[in-house]
Amino acid sequence: MPMHSQVFSQIGEAAHALSSNRSSRYFGGGTLVMRQVNAGNQSFDTIIRSTDPSLKQVQISGDQVIIGASVTMSQVIASRDLDFLKSAASVIGGPAIRNMATVGGNLFARSPYGDFTTALLALEATVALSGGRSDVPIADFLTQRFREPKPLVISVSVPRPRDGNAFRFLKIMRVKPMGVSLMTIAAHLPQSGGRLANPRVAYGSMGDTPIRANAVERALEGKTLDAQGIAPALAVATEGITPRTDSIASEWYRREVAPAHLERLLLGTGG
Ligand SMILES: Cc1cc2nc3c(=O)[nH]c(=O)nc-3n(C[C@H](O)[C@H](O)[C@H](O)COP(=O)(O)OP(=O)(O)OC[C@H]3O[C@@H](n4cnc5c(N)ncnc54)[C@H](O)[C@@H]3O)c2cc1C
97: Cβ below 6 Å to ligand 1? yes
Which structural domain, as residue segments, surrounds residue 145? 53-159
112: Cβ below 6 Å to ligand 1? no
Q: What are phi and psi of 56, to 5 degrees?
A: -100, 5
Q: What rounded mean pLDDT belongs to the chain?
A: 96
| Number of Cβ within a 10 Å radius of residue 104 | 22
99 has pLDDT over 80: yes
233 to 125, 228, 259: CA distances (angstroms):
23, 10, 8
Same domain, 45 and 60: no
199: Cβ below 6 Å to ligand 1? no
The atom number, within ligand 1, closest to the CA of 115 reads 11
Q: pLDDT grade, residue 175 (50/70/90)?
A: confident
30: Cβ below 6 Å to ligand 1? yes
172: Cβ below 6 Å to ligand 1? no
Same domain, 95 and 171: no
C-alpha of residue 33 to centroid of ligand 1, in Å: 7
- Look up the CATH number of the domain holding residue 257: 3.30.390.50
What gap in Å lies between CA 77 and CA 89, rounded to an integer? 6
What gap in Å lies between CA 219 and CA 199, rounded to an integer? 10
Q: How many domains does the chain have?
A: 3
pLDDT score recorded for residue 74: 98
What gap in Å lies between CA 43 and CA 25, rounded to an integer? 9
Q: pLDDT grade, residue 271 (50/70/90)?
A: low
**Tens digit of each residue's pLDDT (9 = 90 or more) over 118-146:** 999 999 999 999 988 889 999 999 999 99
- Global pTM reads 0.97
Same domain, 46 and 57: no
In the chain, the percentage of residues whose pLDDT exceeds 90 is 93
C-alpha of residue 25 to centroid of ligand 1, in Å: 12
**Tens digit of each residue's pLDDT (9 = 90 or more) over 2-22:** 899 999 999 999 999 999 999
1 has pLDDT over 80: no
How far out from the chain centre does Cα 210 lie?
Answer: 7
Query: Are the C-beta atoms of 45 and 4 separated by less than 8 Å?
Result: yes
113: Cβ below 6 Å to ligand 1? yes
Question: Which among 268, 271, 265 has a CA at the least distance from the CA of 204?
Answer: 265
235 has pLDDT over 70: yes
Last residue of a domain, one of 136, 159, 182: 159
43 DSSP 8-state letter: S
Q: pLDDT grade, residue 178 (50/70/90)?
A: confident
Residue 167: which residues within 8 A CB-CB, separation 6 or more? 84, 119, 122, 123, 161, 186, 187, 188, 189
Q: What is the three-class DSSP state of 200? A: strand
